[in-house]
């Protein structure tokens, strides 16, 4: 037995004895200070650890930790008894019994994602507008500058109800409906369900949800479009994010752009999710094409504006680390519970 072991034994027996002999709380507190406090006996023993030969250090450290736990437990137990002054009946209720549980519910992860996006744009002065899912060709395509027989229509595989009536492929027709019913200026966001006739797989589902934004006023610029979306992205993804805007094509905006942010999964190094590019595409946007204004009776010489749109599933999947879109529509409680 080493000298340290010997002293550990001594401290143990004296501490346990003094704890059991302490008659009231103040006496007990004195024992705590003597042994367990920062300058107590046990702390002093820990300090001696540095002079123990290296090969014995692990064993000695273990013994000291054990000592501390033992004394603490004895102290806690005694404190529980001392809390009741002599003469009062001790309550025998087993307080380790479980409490009365409640069901815990949650909003769907898609709703949570949408709520957050909507909240940010509301604070930036956007009102919320909605529109029908069953749409006509005019609002879904033509008035958005998709001419009949134009290859741009291939960008969105469509479910048809009849020749003229379809399930909207994007929330953009609500832009048209808002402008048809409101003279400029308008500033709205438009959440909603959209449909695409694509094979169901881990990466695509026959329907998904979008949030669309539209702002038309006098003198709205591309710079302001960038500013608004950067501000949104920083509020949603964190202010240190890096972003880029690159040219793209949407029939109803000109110029059109897509916004990427640095992949937050790999920090821009490149990974499976960002397809090794280090960038994640988060939304499409652009300046409202003048042809759209002529469909809704706005004067393109007087107003300008921007529109943007993003897919809520994609954003939720990136945010929560999901790699299969179908799980969002399966509604397994083991999945949903994770979002409580």
Partner 1 sequence: MRVSKKWLKKYVDFRIGDDLLAERLTMAGLEVESVTSQAANLKGIIVGEVRSVGIHPNADRLSLCSVFDGSGEVQVVCGAPNVESGQKVAFAAVGTTVPRSQHDPDGVPMQIGRVKIRGVESSGMICSGFELGLSDDREGILVLDSSARPGTPLSRHLHLDDTAFDIGVTANRPDLLSHIGVAREISALTRSPLKIPPVHLRTTRRGSLPLKVQVQDGRNCRRYSARVVRDITVGPSPGWLQALLTAAGVRPINNVVDVTNYVLMEIGQPLHAFDYDKLSGHQIIVRGGDDTSRFVTLDGKERIVDSSTLLICDGEGPVALAGVMGGENSEISGSTKTVVLESAYFDPVSIRRTAKRLGLSTEASQRFERGTDPNITLWALNRAADLLSQNAGGTVQDTLVDVYPRVIRELRIDFNAENSNKLLGIKLSNQTISGLLKRIGIECVGRPTRQGKIRFRVPTWRPDISREVDLIEEVARLYGYDKIEADTKIHLTLDVSPSRRSIEDDLGDYLSSAGYQEIITNSMLSARESANSTGESVRILNPISREMETLRSDLLHSMLTVIQHNINNGISSSRFYEFGKTYRMDPNGDPEKLGSFHEEEKLLIAIFGLQEPVFWGNRTEQSTIFTLKGECNALIRKISLDNPRYIPYSTPTALSERSIFIEISGERVGMIGTVSGDLLKIFDLESDIHFLELSMTRLTNFPKEKIQFREYPRYPVVTRDLAVVVDESVSIGDLGESIRQAAGEMLGEMAVFDIYRGNQLEPGKKSVAFSLEFIPREKTLGQEEIQAIMSRIMQRVSTTFNAVLRQ
Q: Which residues inside 136-195 make contact with partner 1, applying CB under 8 A? A: 136, 149-152, 154-155, 159-165, 167, 185-187, 193, 195
Measured distance CA(12)–CA(308) in Å, rounded = 71
265 interacts with, out of partner 1, Zn ion, none, CB within 5 to 8 A per kind = Zn ion
Q: Assign 286 to helix, strand or coil.
A: strand
* Binding residue (CB under 5 A) for Zn ion from 79, 82, 266, 327: 266
1 interacts with, out of partner 1, Zn ion, none, CB within 5 to 8 A per kind = none
Q: Does the protein bind partner 1 through residue 210 (CB under 8 A)? A: no
- Which C-beta is closer to partner 1: that of 56 or that of 106? 106
Q: Does the protein bind partner 1 through residue 200 (CB under 8 A)? A: yes
Supply 2's token pair: 């080493």
Of 216, 221, 302, 301, the closest CA to residue 255 belongs to 221
Q: Does the protein bind Zn ion through residue 263 (CB under 5 A)? A: yes
Contact 278, 264 (CB under 8 A): no
Q: Does the protein bind Zn ion through residue 265 (CB under 5 A)? A: yes
Residue partners of 153: CB distance under 8 A and separation at least 6 = 141, 146
331 interacts with, out of Zn ion, partner 1, none, CB within 5 to 8 A per kind = partner 1
Of 209, 208, 228, the closest CA to residue 286 belongs to 228
Supply 33's token pair: 């200070």
Q: Does the protein bind Zn ion through residue 271 (CB under 5 A)? A: yes
Q: Which part of the chain contacts Zn ion (CB under 5 A), choosing from 12-20, 253-261, 265-273, 290-298? A: 265-273
Supply 299's token pair: 């004067």
- Binding to partner 1 (CB under 8 A): which residues in 279-298? 287, 289-290
- Binding to partner 1 (CB under 8 A): which residues in 243-262? 244-249, 251, 254-257
116-132 b/e (C-beta count within 10 Å ≥ 16 → b): ebbebbeeeebeebebe
Measured distance CA(209)–CA(196) in Å, rounded = 11
Query: DSSP for 78-90?
Result: HHHHHTS-TTSPP
- Binding to partner 1 (CB under 8 A): which residues in 296-325? 304
DSSP conformational letter for 289? P
Q: Does the protein bind partner 1 through residue 20 (CB under 8 A)? A: no
- Which C-beta is closer to partner 1: that of 86 or that of 330? 330
The site map against partner 1 for 98-127 (x = CB under 8 A) is: x-xxxxxxxxx-xx---x------x-xx-x
Supply 312's token pair: 């809520």
Q: Does the protein bind partner 1 through residue 55 (CB under 8 A)? A: no
Of 254, 249, 252, 250, the closest CA to residue 295 belongs to 252
* Binding residue (CB under 5 A) for Zn ion from 274, 288, 296, 310: 274
Q: Does the protein bind partner 1 through residue 272 (CB under 8 A)? A: no
Task: Provide the binding-site residues for Zn ion, judged by CB under 5 A.
Answer: 263, 265-266, 271, 274
């Amino acid at each position: 037995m080493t000298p340290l072991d010997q002293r550990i034994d001594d401290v143990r027996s004296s501490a346990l004895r003094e704890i059991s002999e302490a008659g009231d709380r103040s006496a007990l507190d004195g024992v705590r200070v003597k042994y367990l406090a920062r300058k107590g006996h046990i702390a002093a023993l820990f300090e001696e650890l540095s002079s123990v030969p290296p090969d014995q250090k692990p064993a000695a450290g273990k013994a000291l930790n054990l000592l501390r736990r033992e004394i603490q437990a004895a102290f806690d137990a005694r404190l529980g008894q001392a809390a009741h002054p002599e003469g009062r009946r001790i309550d025998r209720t087993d307080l380790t019994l479980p409490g009365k549980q409640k069901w815990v519910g949650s909003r769907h992860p898609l709703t949570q994602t949408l709520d957050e996006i909507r909240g940010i744009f509301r604070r930036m002065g956007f009102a919320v507008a909605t529109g029908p899912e069953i749409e006509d060709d005019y609002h879904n395509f033509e008035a958005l500058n998709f001419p009949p027989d134009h290859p741009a229509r291939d960008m969105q595989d469509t479910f048809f109800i009849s020749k003229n009536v379809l399930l909207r492929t994007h929330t953009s027709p609500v832009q048209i409906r808002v402008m048809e019913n409101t003279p400029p200026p308008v500033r709205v966001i438009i959440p909603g369900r959209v449909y695409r006739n694509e094979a169901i797989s881990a990466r695509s589902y026959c329907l998904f949800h979008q949030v669309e934004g539209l702002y038309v006023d006098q003198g709205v610029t591309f710079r302001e479009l960038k500013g608004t979306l950067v501000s949104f992205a920083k509020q949603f993804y964190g202010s240190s994010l890096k972003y880029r805007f690159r040219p793209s094509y949407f029939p109803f905006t000109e110029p059109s752009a897509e916004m990427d942010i640095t992949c937050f999964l790999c920090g821009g190094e490149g990974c499976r999710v960002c397809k090794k590019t280090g960038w994640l595409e988060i939304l499409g946007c652009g300046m409202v094409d003048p042809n759209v204004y002529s469909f809704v009776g706005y004067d393109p010489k007087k107003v300008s504006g921007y529109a943007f749109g993003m897919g809520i599933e994609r954003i939720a999947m990136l945010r929560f680390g999901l790699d299969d879109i179908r799980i969002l529509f399966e509604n397994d409680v083991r999945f949903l519970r994770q979002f409580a």
